[in-house]
Amino acid sequence: MRTQVGIIGAGPAGLTLSLLLRRLGIESILIENRSRQYVEARIRAGVLEHWAAALYDELGVGARMRKEGLVHEGIEIGINGERRRIDFKSLVNKDIIVYGQHEVVKDLIQAQLAQGAPIEFEVSDTSVHGLDSDKPTIRFKKNEESHEIACDFIAGCDGFHGICRPSIPAGVLTEYERIYPFGWLGILSESTPPSHELIYSHHERGFALYSMRSPTITRAYLQCDPAEDASRWSDEEIWAELKRRLGPDGDKILKTGRVFEKGVTAMRSFVTEPMQYGRLFLAGDAAHIVPPTGAKGMNLATADVLFLSRALEAFYKKGSKEEIEGYTKRCLSRIWKAQRFSYFMTTMLHLDPTASDFDRKRQIAELDYYTSSEAAARSLAENYVGLPI
C-alpha cells in the first residue's frame, strides 16, 4: 500500500486528521488495533471548546453534536457550600458543548466510511520504520496477513501507551511529568444532573465535580486517594458524600439513580518534547496528558492535528517545510498554556493532603478572587472556552 500520510490510532486525533487531510486533497490511510465497537464505546471526556465545535461543523460532522450536545454558557464553582457562577457568555461571549468523546468518535467514523476514506480496524503487530528517511513505512498484520504502508509522513495518534513514541530513538525525547497526590472516584448514573451546567465544588472534605452526559445521565466525581478501590464504596456512600460536598441544598437538588459505572482515575500531567522525529509526528495523548479538571484533553488533540494538517498543506501545496519543522514549537505553545490552566484548576479546587494551614487559607482566597473579580473570572472563562487558535 502507498499513501501520503499514514495515521496510527482511531481516536479523535487520528480520525479528525484524516478528515482534515481529505478536505485538503491529501491522501491518508488510518489503522487502529482495536475494533470499531471498542473505540466507539470507549468513554472519555466530554467537553468541546468553542472553536473545536465550530471545526466539527466545518468538517460536516457537527449535526448530531448540535442536536444532542448540551450548550453551556458558564460553570459554577462551589466554595464550601456556596456556589458562584462564571458566566462565559457575558465575560467572553463564547460557550462550550458537553458531548461525549465516544459520540465524537462515532460521528467521525461514520464520516470516514461515508467518504470512502481508508480505515482498518483490529490490526496487530504494528511497527514503524525508516522514520529518519523520506519514505517511512508502517507494518502491521490483519487477519494474520502482513501488510506494509509506504508513506511520506506518519502521524502517531495512538495514545500514551501506543507504539509511536517508544519508536523514537533513546535520547531524542525529554519527558516532563507531574503526579498528583489524589484521584477521582467517578460514577455514571441514571439520574437528573443537579444543574444544567457543570459544578466544580471545593469542600473541606475534598473536591467534587457534578457533570452530565445527557439530561438523564449524571457524571459525578469525588476526590479520593489514587489507590482507592472503587468497589469498596457503596452507591449509598457515594451519593451521601456527593450531597455533602455539593452544599447545604445537596440533599434537595442532587437526585440519585442507578449507578451503572464506577471507577477511579489517577491525576497526572505529562508532556514530551519534541513532538516529532524525522517523518514521524506525535499528536494527542501520544505526546501529552492533562488532568481532566480543565477539560483540555480532547481539545488539545484536535488542535495538534489541525496544526499538523496546516503544516502538511504547506508542504504539499507550496513546497514549504517551514511549518513542518515548526510543528512541535507551535503545538507546545498551546499545550503548555493548557497544562498551566489544568494545573491551576486542579490545585485551586482539590485538597492537597500535604498542604499546611497557610496553604488552605490561601486556597480559599484564590477561589474567592477568581469568583468575585470580573478580571480574574474573565481570564478563567477565556481559558475554559478555549484560547484563540
Active site residue 200: yes
User: Residue 161 in contact with residue 8, Cβ under 8 Å?
Assistant: no
Q: How many CB atoms lie within 10 A of CB 276?
A: 24
Phi-psi region of 278 (alpha: psi -120 to 50; beta: other; left: phi over 0): left
Q: How many CB atoms lie within 10 A of CB 343?
A: 17
Residue from 285, 211, 242, 212 nearest 8 by CA = 285
Half-sphere exposure of 264 toward its Cβ, with a 13 Å CA cutoff?
15
- Which residue is catalytic, options 72, 106, 202, 203? 72
Q: How many Å separate Cα 21 from the centre of its chain?
A: 21
Collapsed DSSP state (helix, strand, coil) of residue 10: coil
- Which residue is catalytic, options 106, 202, 296, 350? 296
Q: How far apart are CA 83 and CA 239, in angstroms?
A: 19
Active site residue 384: yes
DSSP line for 168-180: SPTTS-EEEEEEE
Provide the 8-state DSSP code for 373.
Answer: -
User: Residue 255 in contact with residue 129, Cβ under 8 Å?
Assistant: no
Active site residue 343: no
- Which residue is catalytic, options 292, 316, 350, 370? 292
- Which residue is catalytic, options 99, 200, 277, 370? 200
Collapsed DSSP state (helix, strand, coil) of residue 290: coil
Half-sphere exposure of 149 toward its Cβ, with a 13 Å CA cutoff?
28
What residues act catalytically? 72, 200, 292, 296, 384
